[in-house]
Amino acid sequence: MSESNTVDFVTYEYPLNEKIRSWLRLETLLQQVYELSHITSYTSGIAFLRSVCELIEILDRGEVRSDLIKELEKHRKRLAVWAEAPNADNQLISSLLNDLSAKTANMNSVPRFGQQLRNDKIISMVRQRLTIPGGCCSFDLPTLQLWLHMPQEQRNPIIKDWLDGLTPLKDTLDTILNLLRHASSFETKECHNGFYQDSVEDKELLRVRLSIDKLIYPQISGHKTRFAIRFLHIDSENGIVPTIMTFELSCC
């Protein structure tokens, strides 16, 4: 997922394993669901429900809960080791350990993620129609048309229940990805003729930061041990990539 760090830079991310790939997609869908949850029109309502349905598909593909709990435990053990290091910030580490413990407890206490969404009749109707282009037109789903024209204050409690059921998942995923992203700092690198390659070991996420004014983006490929980056101009016919160009790279 790409994200804006400042007005002048864009950060591009590339997962080096399937677990992180799934989590980044899950993060993107959760952001969409929360940001679109205030429905202002029929169109925004369809966009919100489409994101909800895609989220359910992701949750149905694997053991999201168990994988996240394992990751919380891995970070807890790592922090415990760091606490023994000289000059360790034990107050910060203690705070992080308490937060990880709270997240683990929350994950263990909630029912299956997305179960409320799966059981909802409106969402089920939409899920059945998403494979049809334009399948959520008002004449196809008059029940949905009525629901989306209800006053927002009548829909709010329903949507709040949906989001409340997702909050432990979102909080835990945000914590884990935040720890991962801050596990490494950005370093300035140099590429030649728009190409850069390197090797990595025990890394899960690549982050490339570029100035937006160059209108250049990275096309990244890689796996557990090696990766390559091809830098391309957004104008593929007329744009120019400098022969020598610097960029920032973080291997997390």
Asked if residue 7 is part of any domain, the answer here is no
Q: Specify whether 211 is located in the same domain as 154.
A: no
Token output for 72: 């919380």
User: Which CATH number covers residue 59?
Assistant: 1.10.3900.10
Residues of the chain with pLDDT under 70: 1-7
Residue 209 host element (H or E)? strand 205-211
Q: Specify whether 127 is located in the same domain as 245.
A: no
Token output for 165: 């059921």
Number of domains in the chain: 2
Q: Is 169 exposed, middle or buried (CB count within 10 Å of its CB: 0-12, 13-18, 19+)?
A: buried
Query: What pLDDT is attached to residue 107?
Result: 86
Asked if residue 1 is part of any domain, the answer here is no
- For residue 114, give its domain range: 17-182
Query: What pLDDT is attached to residue 4?
Result: 44
Nearest CA to 126 among 26, 51, 60, 59?
Answer: 51
Residue 46 host element (H or E)? helix 42-59
Nearest CA to 34 among 122, 159, 152?
Answer: 159
Q: Of 142, 161, 182, which residue sits at a domain end?
A: 182
Q: Specify whether 23 is located in the same domain as 117.
A: yes
Asked if residue 247 is part of any domain, the answer here is yes
- Quote the DSSP letter at residue 230: E
Q: Of 152, 182, 212, which residue sits at a domain end?
A: 182
Q: Is 17 helix (H, G, I), strand (E, B) or coil?
A: coil
Asked if residue 3 is part of any domain, the answer here is no
